[in-house]
Amino acid sequence: MMEFAVTILCGVVIGIAEIIPGVSGGTLAVLLNIYDKLIGSISRLTKNLKKNLLFLAPLVLGMGIGIFAFSFVISFLLEHFPMAVNFFFLGLVIGIIPMLLRRALETPFKGVSLVGFVAMFGVMVLLAVVSSQSGASTGAIEQLDLLLAVRLCLVGVLAAVCMILPGISGSMIMVIFGTYETVVNAVKNLNILVLLPVGIGVLAGLLFGAKLVDFCLRRFPQFTYFAILGLVGGSAIPIFMKAGFTLSVAEGWVALLMLAAGVLVSLFFTSERMQNKGSKQELKEENAD
């Protein structure tokens, strides 16, 4: 019973981490010393179904509690302090760049890798321009249509993949693709219609997407990381535009402080020390196999 309660608490901590862009739930799982068990339970779910479910069920329950409870806090902050919150997100985006660049340059640099960066950066800039000129809403969307459903599902796939990689935040992917507020609002209001495509995407990402990304990272690591860098770097533009930054109000100065705080938080959770800790856990899991 005690182990069940501890697992739920671990899930709550990971759930809160997952809803904060830039804070990796995978990293928190490493710090809580359950990362290897989590990955092993997912990857070998059917080999020992009862044992794995007894671990995953309370963990998922705790994550659900953490995500639901903290969604009220995030929604309140976004509603009342949009400039400061978006600048915090912007800081988180900036802070993750050194880690991605560090990983991209683990192998000798190849010029072709810049193609991935330029292409993905261009996509994000284009999305920002089209969204701005069309006057599309940048806040939470509550009415689901086919295009939004597909978008939420695809972003859910990418977010799920990032959830299980230490150092990369699943919710940051939602910020990058402009679905974060919609998903958080849906969680807070228990909007099942909006959450359904997200859930389908997350499930698909956990079961299949992670294997595809793993393939790309193993076969084309530098190109893949430069493509991710393009997505992350390009996402800074729509986030800045969305913040409506100005120094003529007090929140503008607070926003600058939050920008610095976001950078520091992101740098901490993506530091080499944290990454090395995650690598040791992954090695332990591989040896267990």
Continuous segment of H or E residues that includes residue 74: helix 49-80
Enumerate the domain spans of the chain: 2-288
Tokens describing residue 237: 């533009």
Locate 155 and state its tokens. 């972003």
**Full-model pTM:** 0.64
pLDDT at 25: 73
CA distances from 248 to 87, 238, 239 (A): 16, 21, 19
- Residue 282 is predicted with a pLDDT of 47
Q: Please give the pLDDT value at position 198.
A: 92
Q: Say if CB 141 and CB 123 are below 8 A apart.
A: no
**What are the mean pLDDT values of the chain's consecutive 10-residue runs (289 residues total)?**
86 83 67 72 77 88 90 85 87 84 89 91 77 56 84 88 67 81 89 92 79 75 87 79 81 92 84 61 49
Position 62 scores a pLDDT of: 92
Contacts of 126-133 with C-beta under 8 Å, sequence gap 24+, read: 127/178, 127/238, 128/234, 128/237, 128/238, 128/241, 131/178, 131/238, 132/241
Q: Report pLDDT for 199.
A: 92
- How much is the pLDDT for 139? 64
Nearest Cα neighbor of 279 from 159, 106, 109 is 106
> For residue 86, what are the CA distances in angstroms to 34, 43, 141, 259, 280?
31, 35, 17, 8, 34
**DSSP letters spanning 158-181:** HHHHHHTSTT--HHHHHHHTT-HH
